[in-house]
Every structure is written in structure tokens, then in C-alpha cells.
Chain A
């Protein structure tokens, strides 16, 4: 479980870092409020998550809180995969 979570975090982190040419990102860094990424990037992130983790993001999931940081995004993926309780 912890290993899966770590792998998910690493994949999300790698995607974000590749996209914005940053060297480092903490798992709690607020991606949007701190201006690390802009709101347009959110759509790219959604596409990446659906493709990489084979999940479908429903309209009720479209809350920026679910994707505000690497940690939040990772928890969202785990929840959608039924690995942690909703």
C-alpha cells in the first residue's frame, strides 16, 4: 500500500517536474496557489491521471482541492482505485 502510494506520488511528481522544468517539488506544495503551475495545466494533469492510472474522472471529482498538491492528487488516485476508503 505504502509502496503503491509512493509509486503514484513519484509518477505524478515526475510528470509535473517534466512539464514545468522545475528541479524539485515537495509533496505538500500547493501547485496552483503558489503559481507553480497555472490553471490550464490542470487539464493536462487530468489527462495524464486518466491515462496513466486508468481511471475516469467524473464531474463530481472536478474540484481543485483534489489536485492541489502531489499528495492530494495521489490520495485522489488511490481513492478512485478503491485502495483507500472514500
Chain B
């Protein structure tokens, strides 16, 4: 049976992309965030994403602004999520924030509803442990631009049930996505490796081995990657990258995950990447 409504919790960078993908595929979305300003910004960005989606992917459905608006409800009222059949959570990569959110979700949502944690590094098993439904919690690691990426890393927590994976697969079939399911340890496969690249690239820049564009060019032109590590970090958001590195460091107590001082300095300076117009690169309006 098709999933008809999804609650999206947190509409920052990646949450906005998730809303875009759901609406493009005719799924109703209740999008929650803390302030009307954040929601308004997200709505504008979703509409722009939907409008230009065919440019990034020829097979992207064409959805009018009117239809898109009919499928989205932006709210600051947490209780509005309770009518949704599935939850995708995208809040800040901070355990204290996530913990509070999941405790609240567990109280508000009907017991059969599954939670997809869109986390970069935090253990899905740990997230499940603060709910009374650990079997219904699964990790979903979406990547940008969500609607143009056909494959998603999915993380099975210690208690994640086959029913929950089947439910997620149903949603993915509606989104034309394929899941690669991996087991649960902090950072999973993708970020445990990719954050080493991004962090070491920041160290290389800090040590004046090469400027940002040369570092990225080596990854693109020599390794054939679509994007270099520094532009990827700018796209994700330097604050998110820093938080993820801190989670990895805390989880493994391994020095290889210590965050580059340059990366931390840029975050403290408010240069968070594309979303603020400046990070390792500058992005004119």
C-alpha cells in the first residue's frame, strides 16, 4: 500500500531537499520546524527546486506550483505531524537535540509509525534507545540533491525490524530510489570515509600545500569524482561537517577524526558554505 503522507522534521539544507523529492512524487508532506522564518525560506527553496528539477534530472516529474503547494503543509505545531504515516527527521547533528526530538516524536506519533533518522553519523541504535519503538527506527542517509540521487545509504539499527525496512522500501519505490542497507556504527560507510577526505583536505589547505580549487581539481580530474572534498563540505554545510567529525571523534576516540582547526574557525566565523554564501569558496547571490 502506498505511503500517502510523510512528516519531515527539520527543513534546513537537506530537509528542504527531502520535501522537494516527496512533493515531486505526489506524496503529501507535513514539514515542521521551529520558526515561521525557517519555514518560509524552506517553502521558497522547495518551490524553486521543483521548478528547476527537470534540469538536474530529465526524468523528474513536472509539478506545477499550485500542485506543489497543495501537497505541502509547513507548520511550527509539532502535533500536526501526528497524521503522517512515516517520519523523516533531519534536525541538527547534535545528540542532545535529537534525543529531545525523538522522545517527543515517540509521545506524539501512533505506535506503528516508523521513524527515518536522516543522520550523518549518530548511531541509529542509540536513537532507537530513547524511544519505545526501537524496531521502528531506521537510518536514512540522503544526499544532495535528493531528488536527483537514485541511491540512498540505509542503516539498520540493532533492533530495526524487517517490517520497518519493508515500509522504507515502499516509500523508496514511490520515489524511484534504491536502498543500500548497511549495519549500524557511527558514520556508517559513507561518512566514516568521506569525512576523513573533507577533514584532511581542510588540513592540506591549512598547511598551504595547495589552494582549495587545486585540492578539489585533483579529486575531480585525477580520481574522477563529481565534486572535490572542499566543495562537498561547502555543499553539506561546514557546521554539519564539523558536528559530524566531533561525533565520529567522540564515538571512536580515534585521532584521525579530530576536526581541522581551519574548519572549526570558518564555522565560528559564520562561513558555513553555500548556505551562507561563503565557506572554502564564495558564492555570489
Query: Hey, which bits of chain A sit against chain B, CB under 8 A?
Result: 15, 18-22, 35, 38-40, 42-44, 46-47, 59, 62-64, 67
Contacts and interface: CB of A to CB of B under 8 A. Distances in A.
B48 A39 contact: no
B268 interface: no
A42 B212 contact: no
B144 interface: yes
28 contacts: A18-B284, A19-B283, A19-B284, A20-B213, A21-B212, A21-B213, A21-B281, A22-B213, A35-B220, A35-B226, A39-B55, A39-B145, A39-B148, A40-B56, A40-B144, A40-B145, A40-B235, A42-B52, A42-B55, A43-B49, A46-B52, A46-B55, A47-B48, A59-B54, A62-B52, A62-B55, A63-B55, A64-B55
Majority secondary structure of chain A interface residues (helix, strand, loop or mixed)? helix
Nearest to B224: A35
Given A35-B221, A39-B145, A43-B49, A21 B55 contact: no
B262 interface: no
B227 interface: yes
Contacts of A42: 52, 55-56
Contacts of A35: 220-221, 226
Contacts, number: 49
Interface string B47-71: 0110110111000001000000000
A19 B234 CA distance: 12
Contacts of A40: 56, 144-145, 235
Contacts of B83: none
Contacts of B235: 40
B282 interface: yes
B134 to A, nearest CB: 35
Interface residues of B, number: 23
B205 to A, nearest CB: 13
B217 to A, nearest CB: 9
Interface string B227-251: 1000100010000000000000000
A38 B55 contact: no
Nearest to A58: B51
Contacts of A67: 55
Given A22-B213, A59-B62, A39 B284 contact: no
- Those 6 A-B pairs whose CB atoms lie nearest each other, nearest first: A62-B54, A62-B55, A43-B52, A39-B56, A35-B220, A42-B55
A42 to B, nearest CB: 5
A69 to B, nearest CB: 15
B282 to A, nearest CB: 7
B55 A15 contact: no
A44 B212 contact: no
A21 B282 contact: yes
B224 to A, nearest CB: 9
